[in-house]
Amino acid sequence: MARGWESKSVEEQQAESAANRKPSRPKLTPDELLRQERQQSLQLARAHITQQLEKTQNPHYRRVLEAALADLDAKLAGLPKAEPG
């Protein structure tokens, strides 16, 4: 008798756990994954360059970094937009 009670409790716990789970994120297509990875990579590079710009005092190096930053911004702006789910 105790065994049957335990299994019902486990079943109830599993059902409750399944009901409380957050809905999983929608699966991305390979193209969406590539776009997302590319965007994250460009944003990381942009953050790195911005950090270098804050530290540098060399005017020539500053111009190089500003050109690189403009290039990254252009690439980010040119990424295809994520399609609404």
pLDDT, tens digit, for every residue of 2-57?
A: 555 566 677 777 777 777 776 667 788 888 999 999 999 999 999 999 999 999 99
Give, as one character, the DSSP assignment of residue 42: H
Could you tell me which residues come within 8 angstroms of residue 32 by beta carbon, excluding any fewer than 6 positions away? 82, 83
| Candidate from 25-34, 55-64, 67-76 with smallest mean pLDDT | 25-34
Separation between Cα atoms, residue 73 and residue 59, nearest integer Å: 21
Look at residues 82, 2, 84 and name the one whose alpha carbon lies nearest to residue 40.
Answer: 82
> Are the CB atoms for 80 and 35 separated by under 8 Å?
yes
The domain spans of the chain are 43-85
**What is residue 37's three-state secondary structure?**
helix
Under the banding of pLDDT at 50, 70 and 90, the label for residue 84 is low
Q: Which residue has the tokens 């702006």?
A: 77
